Amino acid sequence: MSRNLTMIPVILRRALAGAFVAGLLLSPLAWGADGKEEAAPAMKAPDFTAKDLEGKTVRLAELLAEGPVLLDFWTSWCKPCQIELPELNRIHKTYRDRGFKVIAIAQDDPKTIQKVKPIVKQMGLEVIVLIDPKKEVGNAYKVRNYPTSFLISKDGNIAHFAQGYMRGDEKRLEELVAGMVEGPVEETEPGKTE
């Protein structure tokens, strides 16, 4: 028990250091040699193919031809993932007519992969769900924690990176998505038509 308590600071320090490095690598701004803020070089998202729940092969490059994509890496046993997925589904439904897609990539291993389809059905998810039991796609994106998401612009550049989920994170994500798709969101009150 005392060993577990002494490991917490080490684990926390490693997690914070990893998050800091990831933030530096994926931040849209960097510091120039003169100390002034400047745009960092864009990072290209690795292209991949993976199977959906019906066994159909999906390729990232083909989806990006239609518009921006959010990759969300999750697992069936991750509680924050299960809170975040309905929010991502809502954003997907709001912007899909403008080319935006959410791809939820299940990182479950062969022992838990059978839980993915029932969760998707229970939640009524309309996002594109892919399975990655060997973590080939997750490893290409260096995913180590869940949920982890990458917002990718139509040109294939990573525009935003997030690790973990706290209620309210979806608001910032939706602002970014709205800025990437053409035209403002038109909201109407329920029951009213224009």
CA dihedral 119, 78, 104, 174 (to 10 degrees): 110
pLDDT of residue 41: 60
Q: Which residue has the higher pLDDT, 118 or 186?
A: 118
Find, among 78, 37, 54, 18, the residue nearest to 128 by Cα. Answer: 54
Kindly indicate the confidence band of residue 171, based on its pLDDT and cuts at 50, 70 and 90.
very high
Nearest by Cα to 102 from 165, 151, 153, 166: 151
Of 46, 64, 183, 79, give the one whose Cα is nearest residue 128: 64
Region 113-133: what's the mean pLDDT? 96
**pLDDT value for 39:** 45
Residue that wins the pLDDT comparison between 78 and 13: 78
- Residue scoring higher pLDDT (59 or 190): 59
Q: What's the whole-number average pLDDT of the chain? A: 82
Is the Cβ–Cβ distance between 73 and 107 less than 8 Å? Answer: yes
Helix (H, G, I), strand (E, B) or coil at 60: helix
pLDDT at 2 over 70: no
pLDDT band of residue 190 (cuts 50, 70, 90) is very low
Residue 181 pLDDT greater than 60, yes or no = yes
Confidence grade of residue 42 (pLDDT, cut at 50, 70, 90): confident
pLDDT, mean of residues 115-126: 97
In Å, how far from its chain's centre is CA 63? 15
pLDDT digits (tens, 9 = 90+) for 22-39: 444 444 434 344 444 344
pLDDT higher than threshold 90 for residue 1: no
Query: Residue 121 corresponds to which tokens in the numbers above?
Result: 């059905």
